[in-house]
Structure 1
Amino acid sequence: MTNKVVVLGSLNVDTTLHIAQMPKPGETISAKSKTNSAGGKGANQAVAAARSGATTSFIGQVGRDSNGQFMIDALKRDGINVDHINVDEADGTGSAVILLDEHGQNSIMVYGGANQAMKPAIIADSESLIDGADILISEFETPQEVTLAAFKLAKKHGVTTILNPAPASQLIAGLAEVTDLIVPNETESASLTGIEVTDTASMAANADKFTKMGIKNLIITVGDRGAYYHTPADDGFVPAFKVHARDTTAAGDTFIGALSSQINKDLSNIEDALTYAQKASSITVQRLGALPSIPTKQEIENEYK
């Protein structure tokens, strides 16, 4: 079975300036090189889902500029349906400028642009797309009000909703009740519940808090240690695959996209899907960059025969 996955999320063009050291206030320095790449949590998640075999569609917004076309073309290369990407006449395409020095330290400045200008009204045009999906994913690089509108439609049509609460922010009223599965990292989970994640007992306490909010299913990712999962039927901890990480960019997004490609609508195979997602992200961290580092299903299966 091939999952039909819809991602509602961000589209950013990342510009990385490679420099010797960070500039001091008022200092002008020269960059050794510059690279442009497709990014944004939404784009990363959609590409991860598509490369793991899911029939993937995207709901998002770009500006009427060359960066917008760059992002649309990047998604098309992975066979992602881009018919529901809106073009905003007033705001530019989202972007990030990354200063990366010789020691691997970075400073990042993000312009939300068209991502943050999205309005809930545009979701009505995507109802038929959502109706045909198995899984709908969203995160917090686009307005929560837009996610709420989309998740309400998803629940109307029996579609499973996955929320990645990143960057960390408190949930707006009503969003928890239409979220089937929430997937934070340990920092985001603690931010939402007020309970620090230190061990499995504290993870279970986080799960209890999310259940009280109205979200019955939880996965907390804890980097190279692994991931904790909790459902009304079961809970457990799956250790990560031990690898030498070169670049953790897009690891979390790869996890969520890969997970969405494998998980059943009723989440009955959550542990198996989680294990597959960890295999995918373990490959991502061994490679440089965001989209270029995301593996295909064949690469994952070849790595973990």
Structure 2
Amino acid sequence: MTNKVVVLGSLNVDTTLHIAQMPKPGETISAQSKTNSAGGKGANQAVAAARSNAVTSFIGQVGNDSAGKFMVKALEDDGINTDHIKVDHENGTGSAVILLDEQGQNSIMVYGGANQAMKPDMVADCEDLIKHADILISEFETPQQVTYEAFKMAKHYGVTTILNPAPASTIIDGLLEVTDLIVPNETESATLTGIEVTDTASMDKNADKFTKMGIKNLIITVGDRGAYYHTPNDSGFVPAFKVHAKDTTAAGDTFIGALSSQLKKDLSNIEEALVYAQRASSITVQRLGALPSIPTAKEIADQSK
């Protein structure tokens, strides 16, 4: 089975500043080193899907600048179809500054740029692409209204939709009704439901709240602990693989991209796909950077031996 995955999302050039520890308010510190790499939640998820052998296409927008050309080439280098990436002549390509400390924890500041300037009418040009997809993924680094239009189209054609509500915010009316699976982390889930995630019982309560909000299928990722899942038929917890994390950047995105490469459209193999996704993200956190850290299907398979 080879999934056809379409990602509607963000394209950012990441600048990572490597520091000993996070600065306190008002404190000036020195960075030990600086690296630049291709990133953005959308790009990370698409590359993760492509490296796990999904046939992957991207819907997005870059600025008319060198950073935009750099981002498009980065996706093409992984065999991703970039025909539906538009060029915005008014806004620059998205960017992010990442503070990464010696414990592998990060803080991220994002400039939306061309990502946030995407318009819902762009989706009409993508109908043929969405129509033939198995899975459509989107997150919140691009406007929700664009995602809503794309998800409505996807549901019309029986395409499975996955929403990664990150960074967490209020969700526009109607979007959850056309979402098949929502994948927040524990902080995002608590933001959206108002119920703090501390244990399995609280995750069950989050699932009940999401069901009332109109979404039946849920995965909550809880970092190095693992991932909780809930569907109308089943629920459970898949523990994470224990590794020493160097950099958690793109771990959640790797998880979602890798998951989409394995997941059946009816979600019937969700637990098996979750184990694969956990293994993929456990490799990502042992490496530095966003796109450079995302593993291939062979690396994930080798890890399972």
Q: TM-score if structure 1 supplies the norm length?
A: 0.94
Q: 1:301 to 1:100 in 2, by over 3 A?
A: closer
Q: Tell me, in whole angstroms, the C-alpha distance in 1 between the residues paired with 2:259 and 2:103.
A: 33
The one-letter code of the counterpart of 1:164 is: N
Answer yes or no: is 1:37 the counterpart of 2:37. yes
CA contact (8 A) 2:180 2:217 kept: yes
Identity percentage of aligned residues: 82
Shift of the alpha carbon at 1:241? 1.0
| Residue 25 (structure 1) shift | 5.8
Give the AA of the match of 1:11. L
The within-5 A match list for 1:1-305 is 1-18=1-18, 33-99=33-99, 108-305=108-305
Q: CA deviation at 1:34?
A: 3.4
Counterpart of 2:268 in 1: which secondary structure? coil
Supply the AA of the counterpart residue of 1:135.
I
Q: CA 1:301–1:195 in 2, change beyond 3 Å: closer, same or farther?
A: same
Query: Could you tell me how far apart the structure 2 residues matched to 1:215 and 1:40 are?
Result: 26
- Give the aligned residue type for 1:54: A
- Asked if the contact 2:8–2:59 (Cα under 8 Å) also holds between the matched residues in 1, the reply is yes
The superposition leaves residues 12-38 of structure 1 with CA deviations (integer Å, 9 ceiling, x where unpaired) of 0012345678599697x8766432110
Q: Secondary structure at the match of 1:83?
A: strand
Code of the residue aligned with 1:111 in structure 2: it is Y
1:130-158 alpha-carbon deviations (Å, 9 max, x no partner): 00100000000000000000000000000
SS at 1:236's partner residue?
strand
List gaps (5 residues or longer) in structure 1: none
Aligned to 1:288, the other structure's residue is in SS state coil
Cα gap change, 1:244 to 1:238, in 2 (>3 Å): same
Q: 1:101 to 1:52 in 2, by over 3 A?
A: closer
* Corresponding letter in the other structure for 2:207: A
Name the aligned partner's letter for residue 276 of structure 1.
Y
Residue 222 of structure 1, CA deviation: 0.7
Q: For 1:113, give the aligned amino acid.
A: G
The answer to which of 227-236 and 29-38 deviates more is: 29-38
Q: Secondary structure at the match of 1:168?
A: coil
Whether the 8 Å contact between 2:102 and 2:246 is mirrored in structure 1 is: no
| Distance of aligned partners of 1:302 and 1:19 in 2 relative to their CA distance in 1, 3 Å threshold | closer
Give the secondary-structure state (helix, strand or coil) at the position aligned to 1:48.
helix
Offset at residue 243 of structure 1 (A): 1.2
* 1:120 partner letter: P
**5+ unaligned residues in a row in structure 2: which ranges?**
none
Secondary structure of the structure 2 residue equivalent to 1:79: coil
* AA aligned opposite 1:287: R
Distance in 2 (CA, whole Å) between partners of 1:190 and 1:23 is 26
- Give the aligned CA root-mean-square deviation in angstroms: 2.0
